[in-house]
Amino acid sequence: MTDRNELAGLTAVVTGGASGIGLATARLLAARGAAVAVLDLAPDGVPGPLTGLRADVTDDDSVRGAVRVAAEVLGGIDILVNNAGIGATGTIEDNADEAWHRVLDVNVLGIVRTTRAALPYLRLSGAAAVVNTCSIAATAGLPQRALYSASKGAVLSLTLAMAADHVREGIRVNCVNPGTVDTPWVGRLLDGAADPATERAALEARQPSGRLVSADEVAAAITYLASPAAGSITGTALAVDGGMAGLRLRPART
Ligand code: NAD
């Protein structure tokens, strides 16, 4: 049975928490009793009781400052959700070096900077957990996603390495691997497609469940990995992808 207040007394920081998966996660952590701060480029619309703090995960000073303020406001940091991320489309011929540096800077080094700043607080926690938002792109070869996939592959490896480095300090590190999730990000992707309805149908059909994942479903997985109920789970990747990574179905009969 789920304890609705299982995170009472704990504190959490969620990067990229002003939209999509991050916002759903911040809300769920708060609903389960945690005090939550959101670090985002655009935190102004973040609803109460969440604390919105402006931070750019590509800027070390910005991250350190926001993490320090979050720890002061919340009274420490027990849970860190490294979720801020950006996308990229195309093959290796399509993105200039600047785009590679930019996406790796946000998606990979963003996790490094934020976790590095949070570690002194996590070490003081009796229930420390880090959850990184990775992707199906880390474990399956998807067309037109070379740069994005490389960044998420790095997130998966980094999750395992961080889990090994910090397990003896009592800090668990895991990641979630969402399939295609119905968020503003995917909305923007569809808006840019020649035929958005056909593109959406193709994305839905790619997942064995036949539909997109919801942000709330990813938030539930993150919240579980972040909670003391997952106290023996570290160094894992939890797929939240409607079966996309693991299943091989025969074509549906018409
Ligand atoms: P989103 O665009 O709805 O939200 C991303 C948030 O991150 C935004 O609020 C944005 O302001 C913030 N952000 C971006 N760059 C930042 C920076 N430099 N510093 C601080 N904040 C920054 O996206 P989403 O779909 O909710 O994606 C969230 C995470 O989930 C990303 O890491 C993404 O790679 C991952 N993911 C998404 C999907 C999907 O289908 N939507 C699938 C797998 C993984």
Cα angle 39-41-47, degrees, rounded to a multiple of 5: 60
Predicted local distance difference test score (pLDDT) of residue 251: 83
Provide the pLDDT for residue 2. Answer: 62
pLDDT tens, per residue, the chain with 254 residues: 467 899 999 999 999 999 999 999 999 999 999 999 999 999 999 999 999 999 999 999 999 999 999 999 999 999 999 999 999 999 999 999 999 999 999 999 999 999 999 999 999 999 999 999 999 999 999 999 999 999 999 999 999 999 999 999 999 999 999 999 999 999 998 999 999 999 999 999 999 999 999 999 999 999 999 999 999 999 999 999 999 999 999 987 76
Query: Which residue's structure tokens are 């399956």?
Result: 140
pLDDT at 3: 73
The CATH 3.40.50.720 domain(s) of the chain lie at 11-178+214-238
Write down the pLDDT at residue 254.
Answer: 64
Task: State CA 60 to chain mean position distance.
Answer: 19
Residues having CB within 6 Å of any atom of ligand 1? 15-16, 18-22, 40-42, 55-58, 83-86, 106, 133, 135, 178, 180-181, 183-186
Looking at residue 39, its pLDDT comes to 98
- What is the spatial distance between Cα 224 and Cα 102, in angstroms, rounded to a whole number? 31
Residue 10 CA to residue 224 CA, distance in Å, equals 14
Our mutation pick for probing the ligand 1 site, out of 19, 132, 182, counting the most ligand atoms within 8 A of Cβ, is 19
Please tell me the distance from the alpha carbon of residue 131 to that of residue 7, in angstroms, as a whole number: 15
Omega before 49 within 30 of 0, i.e. cis: yes
Concerning whether 121 is annotated as a catalytic residue, the answer is no
Residue with tokens 């002194």: 120
- Look at residue 212 and give its three-state secondary structure: coil
* Assigned CATH for 11-178+214-238: 3.40.50.720
Marked catalytic residue, from 121, 148, 185, 224: 148
Radius of gyration of the chain (CA): 18
Q: How far is the CA of 88 from the centre of ligand 1 (A)?
A: 12
| φ, ψ (nearest 5 deg) of residue 138 | -80, -25
- CA angle, residues 87, 47, 22, in degrees to nearest 5: 25
Token representation of residue 148: 């994005």
Nearest by Cα to 221 from 11, 84, 10, 28: 28
pTM: 0.98
Question: What span, in angstroms and rounded, lies between the C-alpha atoms of 218 and 28?
Answer: 11
**Cα 209 vs. chain centroid, distance in angstroms?**
21
Residue from 50, 80, 86, 207 whose mutation best tests the ligand 1 pocket (most atoms within 8 A of CB): 86
Nearest CA to ligand 1 atom 31: 85
